[in-house]
Structure 1
């Protein structure tokens, strides 16, 4: 085996280990500021970008969408698209930018995504998905993965999902994250598609039993680290958490390294805020705005004394002209334990 093949194999092993717990790609939420914050809370969990469309990168030249902080590793780029050649070119761009994984979105149900014939609508075309990931893998030296639903509209998930997994496995994919809900492409909004279609965790577990050689993670409706640990104990390879990791990040991420990865490391929200201050200062010097960072920090103290005052102070002051780190320091006074 060559050195490059050894490095590739090592990279695959590391990213698969990280994917025991991942934070879901979420539009308008998991930008690079959010990911930097999450990385301070967990050194081990796998982080995902917001979905970036292949046309924006390849035809639009929007390479700024690939920007990230080196501290974010391990970090995956999620792509949206349906043209195999275009996705291959975008995947190559992502790998050259240094991302540890390239993920194809086959789950987003928004009207905008459907109009571009990608996202969840691709569940209707497993052959096309297979063509896409095969082309991506041929052009990309890092692992290509898929995030999908269990089906869409009137499809029968217990018939559709095995055929879908068989198609992408035959194309070379060995790691899939399954959102355990159908997506209804008409009649439900994207928000409703995250809540209304019933969850079918047993189906995802059945797919792991049927496709034992594949690395399968579950996503959808998982609100705590305790719930994640149950899925792992029952045999799934990974768990992806979305909204809970964003709204109550301390509950999900602060104990993740110890409980999920067996690494003796924990921190606390106050220390995380203090560690964010140098990052905030660099962002402001570069011309950024305080609110671009602090909007992701509002839930840090959820459920703790002073959390409401923390959120209110940041919300009311972070967008004011000239707002800087002192706003965060002042907000921290509401939640820090007071000396006796």
Structure 2
């Protein structure tokens, strides 16, 4: 445990792996005038405008500060971290945009809640009706009858099929079905970015690995790991600590692999979003993801998972290693094709 000594500030003591530059950046935010400057620059910003800089005098007027020297001092502290100074004036750097956007999308809005509301989406585990609910910045897709995919985690409702941590802005002008679709799109985007090794939050490197329960229950949700599945694909960013956990049979984990795209294209199944149904599920056409996409844990040391796609008598198998990389691809059931290289 890190212990504070007489020469450290609380901010320095808490920084840990964040590093000195992060500590310095946080320290400059501890002033109302500086926060007002960031908000004023964000208010002045308009996407697609050719010019978004704000002159010193105009920025001071927007903040409402009479003392020019004091204002200049606080503005100077922000430059380099959150604000960019050009010959034409001042504008937010990307870090400044992200900071204000996070506040606006999260704490800057009322904290909305959505009571469990039924949606037109059957449970993929048991086929029962499902509901969507939003509480404390978490959106949950929940089965009304079975125990879902996860157990009694602290914040997870009973029967949870999926949970996504989303800013309150996600509920703006959306009906429950649209809310679930938005969560699906956001989750898919995060997952695909993670698979490609890029953090969707900070653009840092994303680490992936297969996590296996040491003592998994045979049926239902395991009391040891609170998951229905023995193995999960996990991703974590070492820079900002963004993370995600996914079922290996989740088709989107490997859906953009060239072999998968070619497999479905050969069977006339375009991997597109189905706008006709109002659902952002992939258009499989005569393919039931529950029945035709499966996975198997084939080794545990190191972990290896085989994901199998089936369609019209043909099978495509992809093997994932412990770092969630595709290391082998094979196809059976199509004339002239027995095996593909990765």
TM-score by length of 1: 0.23
Larger Rg: 2
TM-score by length of 2: 0.22
Which protein has the bigger strand share? Answer: 2
Which protein has the bigger helix share? Answer: 1
